[in-house]
Amino acid sequence: MTINDHDADREASNSTITEGKVDAAKPASLTWKRKLNTEENPLSSFGLKIKEVIHLAPLGYRLWRWNREDALKGDGNGTIIDPFKKHHYSSCNGVPLGGIGAGSIGRTFQGEFLRWQLFPKICEDKPVLANQFSVFISRPDGKKYSTVLCPPNPEVLKDKSGNGIGSWDWNFSGHNSTYHALYPRAWTVYDGEPDPDLKIVCHQISPIIPHNYKESSFPVAVFTYTLSNKGKTAADVTLLFTWENSVGGVSGLSGHHYNTKMKVKDGIHGVNLHHMTADGQTPVTFAIAAQETNHVHVSECPSFVTSGDFQGFTANDMWREVKENGSFNRLDSSQLPMGSKPKSSIGAAIAASATVPPDAVRTVTFALSWDCPEVRFRKRTYHRRYTKFYGSHGDAAEKIAHDALLEHGNWEAQIESWQQPILDDKRLPEWYPITLFNELYYLNSGGTIWTGNLILLHNFCQVKPAHLTSSPFADGLPPVHNISSITGKKFSIDRSNTNSQNNGDISHQHDTAVNVLERMTSVLAEIHNPTSKTSAFGTNLLQQGEENIGQFLYYEGIEYHMCNTYDVHFYASFALIMLFPKLELSLQRDFAAAVLMHDPREMDLLDDGTRAPRKALGAVPHDIGMIDPWFDVNFYNIFNTDRWKDLNPKFVLQVYRDVVVTKDKNFAHAVWPSVYIAMAFMEQFDKDGDGMIENEGFPDQTYDTWSVTGVSAYSGGLWVAALQAASALAAEVGDKGCEDYFWVKFQKAKTVYDKLWNGSYFNYDDSNGKASSSIQADQLAGQWYARACGLFPIVDEEKARSALEKVYKFNVMKVGNGKRGAINGMLPSGQADMSCMQSREIWTGVTYGVAAGMIHEDMIDMAFQTASGVYETGWSEQGGGYAFQTPEAWDINGRYRSLAYMRPLAIWAMQWALTQPKTSNQEPKPDVKPESLLRQHVGYTRVARLLKLPKEHDSRSILQVIFDYTCKKKTM
């Protein structure tokens, strides 16, 4: 079954699911729990050692200068990271709101709404405290209760005006209330708070539904309140939902915002809050709504002043209205502010009232939606995916909320059917399924953007070279110049299908080298076209009849502003390929298109102050860009990533893995030229011709402060696995010559790689430096991925198990009693490798990846013990407060670096390992005679020579040269 068949079947079955199968008041059988009176735990960030400060000083200075100059220019470019910016981080995060790629609003387990991410690169950390659920209860015996259902924030207590939200009843303690989280759902159980005889359960849900590419894109969340009266008298209950007209930060004070009532339909009442954003951002409309039933009455307060100039109907007036009357039925709308004034903010409220008889249950349902149809970058604007279903006029918020109130039961049933089998698997430790699902929060709050289509495009014309009907060259290989001879022009090899296979000349039908070189020749002939502009839009690789699902972006981290950082996506991608495979293939097509791009425009490098071209033909980019994604790739500029050794192999491995999962032959054929070119590009890093690439003495891989020289366990293993994956992919597309050729190269490189074996593990590298014998946790990344792809192992199974046991005993168990995860580097002496910042860190996503590798080697107990360290430090009640913001790393004391990071999605690599058969899907290959591959070798080496980077000239300043020399001497 192809990916399209699978998703069609899934969507067809979803349409038949009916509401009412899941009890919204009952939390899932396994959840992440916190008491609502849990106190805020100040987060502890990592610190640099003196040696590291000195080593990173030049980079830090350049980054500071870049940030300062960017702030002075005010052009919104920004930098990849601003380490000097102060953040407001909470240790109380819970399940965030909304679908995928339409913006995100975070929520704490105590009930605050915070971490607003509605626009690219903007994350407003602080809560908007007017956004609350509150309850008012009265009984016939005169007992009354009223409170905001959230412990008071110290900022609220500062409001002494008497008219603002500080005048509300903030008397909720939370000592008897418990929060349960299992993403994308959450339950808050108020057990006898504030009324001892009334149990209130709030069930929160957002439509994150695997293999669903419609509802999963919706910017909406639904809150279902179940009221259970255990008392002997009836309880009159009013639930209040208040929302400020704000997009976080001080945006609510900018003025000119206004609110309007929704049209009542299907018993659904609500208010639209129209926010006129500043600083060139697109306007946003929020909708808050509730559904009226036979037992529930809904009324609304369209507008009240929450802060600033308290003329007119104030937050205090609104609160007293509900407290005294139980609804807004008596409200005179003429009193209400029509819009907000500068330096003042307004809000809206929905009140849902019900009488709950003794021993009875009533249900009240609210929805929150927002409509921000455009996502704006500096040069281009895109529509978000959900606009395909609701339009792009900015008036869809109330329709989205309306539909959510009617359809959320179907979402619940689909999510339940996805999650319950994993929750019921008794072979799994309890922490694992809870963390497995909750780490998916990043698909929403990782700055994700899911586009529908481009609506503003500047001067773009895709180059369309003429198709060659036959090769005019005697050897079938057109003469071309080395790519280094072409300067100043940005171009891309054409990615459309040629007709050469259908014109009767089949002599080169499966000769990839000829096809690649023909593409190059035709594009180079047109390279001087001044209107040409290239991009990494993978939609050009879609075959006729294939659905364009849109483009997908997500940040490396909320502090690290680069989209689709590929060396990190290598770990995180298992979540996408297992749950949203069409999004994964879309992302992969973009990178396949990017491989074919050449962009010689120079950029400044932060590491040494030199300049380098933005992107070379054949190199997989570090990221798809940030300021102008798809058009200006490689926003990362610490090093020249064209010379990194892990990106190209990771591309090849992920492509093949995705073909294995989806069985999508169209995808395989479309990206095969990019795979071939990516492999040929790497040949320049095999300096001695032994078949193995060598690292070049700087951090030329994902560990970008950890230098490596020569043959290395990490990059070398990825290269060996990629050679085998390239051979297997060639077989998928019917290229027998390349299948045999890459297989022979795999066998050759595998022999060289084995020389790193020291008897118990694989050395970090073969340079004989101080860190060469370091025990790297990630040393078998290539082996892990080969197993995940169903390929043959790249090392003997006994050696793999020995190396992983070494990692477990040293990197895992010698750090924090096995409750931290796997430290990146450990010396044979049992001491942490202190050669650099990253060697002494524990990387959460790498720990999950190592555990996945252990599972593939049938070391199940060891795998769960290894991965449990991430749970213990990140998610447990005794941990660091990193739930729903798992950082990239922490040190041996649990102090974090880079909160809310992409790589921890790698926990889904563990799930992939647990669910896949242990046997290889490859057939043993007969011996191939090298002489039969001469033609393949000639073509491949000619492509490799074409792609060779120009010789680097040392343009560092004399001070930088002296500094680098001194640092190098100290580490030798």
3-state secondary structure 173-187: CCCCEEEEEECCEEE
Query: Measured between alpha carbons, how far is 575 from 905 in angstroms, rounded to an integer?
Result: 6
SS3 350: strand
Query: Residue 935 is encoded by which pair of tokens?
Result: 């033609």
- For residue 761, the Cα-to-chain-centroid distance in whole angstroms is 32
Lowest mean pLDDT among 306-310, 328-332, 512-516, 555-559: 512-516
Q: What is the CA 907 to chain-centroid distance, rounded?
A: 13
Q: How far is CA 704 from the centre of its chain?
A: 20
Query: How many CB atoms are located within 10 Å of the residue 610 CB?
Result: 17
Q: Are the C-beta atoms of 128 and 246 separated by less than 8 Å?
A: yes
**Does pLDDT of 150 surpass 50?**
yes
pLDDT at 325: 96
Pseudo-torsion of CA 279, 281, 285, 288, nearest 10°? -80
Average pLDDT on 913-919 reads 85
Question: What is the structure's pLDDT at 520?
Answer: 66
Q: Are 884 and 554 in contact (CB under 8 A)?
A: no
Asked whether 524 and 493 are in contact (CB, 8 A), the reply is no
Q: Which two tokens stand for residue 604?
A: 């400044």
Among residues 433, 236, 478, 529, the alpha carbon closest in space to that of 908 is found at 433
Of the candidates 780, 789, 791, the residue with the CA atom closest to the CA atom of residue 753 = 780
Nearest to 789 by CA among 913, 906, 660: 660
Which of these, 805, 706, 718, lies nearest to 753 by C-alpha position? 718
* Averaged pLDDT for residues 494-503: 44
**Which residue is listed with tokens 């580490």?**
971
Query: What is the signed CA dihedral for 44, 48, 49, 54, rounded to 10 degrees?
Result: -160
If you average pLDDT over residues 258-273, what whole number do you get? 96
Structure tokens at 699: 């951090």
Confidence of residue 184 (pLDDT cuts 50, 70, 90): very high
SS3 648: helix
- Give me the pLDDT at residue 60, please: 87
Tokens 């002075």 belong to which residue?
Answer: 72
| 934-947 and 736-753 helices, crossing angle to 10° | 70
Residue 871 DSSP code: I
Statement: residue 472 has pLDDT above 50: no
Position 969 confidence tier, pLDDT thresholds 50, 70, 90: low
Is the predicted pLDDT of residue 488 greater than 70, yes or no? no
CA distance 584 to 658: 8
The three-state (H, E, C) secondary structure of 683-713, written as one string: HHHCCCCCCCCCEEEECCCCCCCCCEEECEH
Q: Which pLDDT band holds residue 967 (cuts at 50, 70, 90)?
A: low
| Burial grade of 453 (CB within 10 A; 0-12, 13-18, 19 or more) | middle
Residue 470 has pLDDT above 50, yes or no: no
- State the Rg of the chain over Cα: 29
Question: What is the Cα–Cα distance from 845 to 470, expressed in whole angstroms?
Answer: 49
Neighbours of 293 (CB within 10 A): 15
> Is residue 487 pLDDT above 60, yes or no?
no
List pLDDT tens digits, range 618-676: 999 999 999 999 999 999 999 999 999 999 999 999 999 999 999 999 999 999 999 99
Let me know: does 824 contact 839? Beta carbons within 8 Å: yes
Query: 712, 667, 551, 449: which is closest to 4 by C-alpha?
Result: 667
| Coil/strand/helix, residue 1 | coil
The residue written with tokens 């000239």 in the block is 953
- The Cα-based distances of 844 to 101, 553, 703, 912 in angstroms read 24, 21, 13, 17
Band of the pLDDT at 526, cuts 50, 70, 90?
low
pLDDT of residue 497 exceeding 80, the answer is no
**Amino acid 310: pLDDT:** 83
User: What's the pLDDT at 85?
Assistant: 82
- Kindly report whether the peptide bond that precedes residue 194 is cis, defined as omega within 30 degrees of 0: yes
Q: Which of 253, 348, 241, 343 is nearest to 304 (CA)?
A: 348
pLDDT at res. 445: 96
pLDDT at 89 over 50: yes
* Secondary structure (3-state) at 390: helix
> pLDDT-based confidence at 851, cuts 50/70/90?
very high
Instruction: Quickly state the pLDDT bin for 86 (edges 50, 70, 90).
Output: confident
757: β partners: 762
Instruction: Read off the tokens for 928.
Output: 């191939």
**For tokens 């364009």, what's the residue?**
548
Local confidence band at 162 (pLDDT 50, 70, 90 cut-offs):
confident
pLDDT, residue 971, reads 59
| Predicted pLDDT at 76 | 58
Q: What is the mean pLDDT of residues 497-501?
A: 42
Contacts of 285 (CB under 8 A, 6+ apart): 272, 273, 274, 275, 370, 371, 372, 394, 395, 396, 397
pLDDT in tens, 773-786: 999 999 999 999 99
- Token pair 């395989």 is found at 668
- Given a cut of 70, whether residue 388 has pLDDT beyond it is yes
Of 340, 345, 275, 335, the closest CA to residue 307 belongs to 345
- Per-residue confidence at 602, pLDDT binned at 50, 70, 90? very high
What strands, in cross-sheet order, belong to the sheet with 491-492? 491-492, 597-604, 611-615
pLDDT per position as a tens digit, 411-439: 999 999 999 999 999 999 999 999 999 99
Instruction: Determine how β-strand 775-776 pairs with β-strand 491-492.
Output: unpaired
Burial of 282 (0-12, 13-18, 19+ CB in 10 A): middle
pLDDT for res 916: 87
Q: What pTM, to 2 d.p., does this model score?
A: 0.91
At 165, is the pLDDT very low, low, confident or very high (cuts 50, 70, 90)? very high
Q: What is the rounded average pLDDT for all residues in the chain?
A: 89
Cα–Cα dist 736/743, whole Å: 11
| pLDDT for the residue 343 | 92
Long-range contacts of 738-746 (CB under 8 A, 24+ apart): 738/510, 738/512, 738/676, 738/936, 740/925, 740/928, 740/932, 740/933, 740/936, 741/933, 741/936, 741/937, 741/940, 742/679, 743/925, 743/928, 744/928, 744/930, 744/933, 745/691, 746/720
Q: What φ, ψ does residue 235 adopt, rounded to 5°? A: -120, 125
Backbone angles phi, psi at 510, to 5 degrees: -115, 25
Segment 464-484 shows an average pLDDT of: 36
Extract the tokens encoding 609: 């102050």
Copy the structure tokens of residue 10. 């899934």
The percent of residues in the chain predicted with pLDDT above 90, rounded, is 76
10 Å CB burial of residue 912 (0-12, 13-18, 19+) is buried
Q: What is the pLDDT of residue 964?
A: 66
The predicted structure's pLDDT at residue 831: 97
- Other beta carbons less than 10 A from residue 416's beta carbon: 16
Chain centroid offset of residue 199 CA: 37
Q: What is the tens place of the pLDDT at every residue in 883-905? A: 999 999 999 999 999 999 999 99
